[in-house]
Amino acid sequence: MKNFVYANPTRILFGKGQIAALAKQVPESAKVLLTYGGGSIKANGVHAQVMAALAGRAVTEFGGIEPNPTYETMMRAASAARGAGADFILAVGGGSVIDGSKFLAAALKHDGADPWDLVTGAARIRGALPLGVVLTLPATGSESNCGAVVTHKGQGAKLAFGHPALYPAFAVLDPEATRSLPPRQVANGVGDAFVHVVEQYLTVPAGGMVQDAFAEGLLRTLVAVGPKTLADADDMEARANLMWAANQALNGLISVGVPQDWSTHMIGHELTALYGVDHARSLSIVLPAMLKVRRAEKRAKLVQYAANVWCLFDGTEDQRIDAAIERTESFFRSLGLPVRLAEVGLGGEAVPAVRANLEAHGMTALGEDRGVTPAVAEKVLAAAR
């Protein structure tokens, strides 16, 4: 295990009724820009609870942040924020609203030319407006990490970026706010969180016993509560565990001191940018194929994954690895997630197109050992057909 510093400054307020705690979390003198998506928060009562908790503060609203938030939309949000003199952003929604708001928070403190430079790395993030979150969709972990993914529609690019200034000050996680989620979004959330853990765990052994055991516990929890949440919308215990597991999956804890992969995510982002595939669905297609193609490099961890996540102890190592990959696919299928490109209507044309995009975005040495070159990515996509 390598040396590490672990510091996650986001305060979590977890549980039923915690939206009311906003009254204490948002400064009384704040000029708040409340950011949200397509309107689910108005239909399910979350917006009303937020407004009640913010009573007495100046609040301006900016809605219409789309899934896979765009630079174009968030530049309009920046004008609205400037017009209102906002000094605090409250993001109410899922990963898209939160990520778009992180970009906005950094853009509002950027005095250079085009804030898109903050995403590409052409300019440095030097600060951000304070950001708070009310989470409505357990999936990304964005509510307590400092990363974000934004799409530039004009350029057809979906890029990840991050900076410590982008950690939310606090995040409210009320499982009741997730009750209105359609089954597709619940399944997406479970799949996304599962792949987040895998990308930080299923690499090569690094002696991180705590990280490994925590990761395996999160994976087993997701396998248990994902189907329960889908089967019974009123199972609040399952919902609460899903929300906490998805948060812990990507708050930075399980990746400290150990290698990370993220190649499935980077390939998935290109599938979303090119074809609009939901983020989690791009991952459920790419991950099993990635494990097949990178079986030799990941062999030791695949054996560990087979034993500690899927309880596979019988047969040869190869049989256990085969079975673990098969279980992963069946788990995704049981949630209704696709595991082949054809299931989202894509054929062979996607393979060279994704490869070309990866090359254009400099994604040419991915994975824990930088071994996922464009040629390997092409093999992975071919295995996902």
Rounded to an integer, what distance in angstroms lies between the CA atom of residue 269 and that of residue 202?
A: 20
Structure tokens at 3: 């040396």
Contact between 163 and ligand NZQ per CB under 6 A: no
The beta strands (E) that lie in the chain are given as 11-14, 31-35, 58-62, 88-93, 131-135, 147-152, 157-162, 170-173
Which residue of 53, 119, 149, 258 would you call a contact of ligand NZQ, by CB under 6 A?
A: 149
Which residue of 106, 118, 198, 250 would you call a contact of ligand NZQ, by CB under 6 A?
A: 250
Which residue of 49, 73, 136, 263 would you call a contact of ligand NZQ, by CB under 6 A?
A: 136
CA end-to-end span of the chain: 37
Tell me the DSSP string of 165-222: GGS-SEEEE-GGGGTT--HHHHHHHHHHHHHHHHHHHSS---S-HHHHHHHHHHHHHH
Which residue of 49, 185, 241, 328 would you call a contact of ligand NZQ, by CB under 6 A?
A: 185
In the complex, the smallest distance separating the C-beta of residue 279 from Zn ion, rounded to whole angstroms, is 6
Which residue of 35, 73, 142, 255 would you call a contact of ligand NZQ, by CB under 6 A?
A: 142
Contact between 308 and ligand NZQ per CB under 6 A: no
Contact between 255 and ligand NZQ per CB under 6 A: no
**Closer to ligand NZQ at the Cβ: 63 or 257?**
63
* From 105-113, 139-147, 203-211, 289-297, span contacting ligand NZQ (CB under 6 A): 139-147
Residues forming beta bridges with residue 92, ordered by sequence position: 134
Structure tokens at 328: 């992963």
In the complex, the smallest distance separating the C-beta of residue 200 from ligand NZQ, rounded to whole angstroms, is 11
Rounded to an integer, what distance in angstroms lies between the CA atom of residue 173 and that of residue 279?
A: 21
Structure tokens at 320: 């256990």
- What is the contact surface with ligand NZQ in residues (CB under 6 A)? 37-41, 44, 67-68, 93-97, 99, 136-137, 139-142, 145, 147-149, 177-178, 180-181, 185, 188, 192, 250, 265, 279
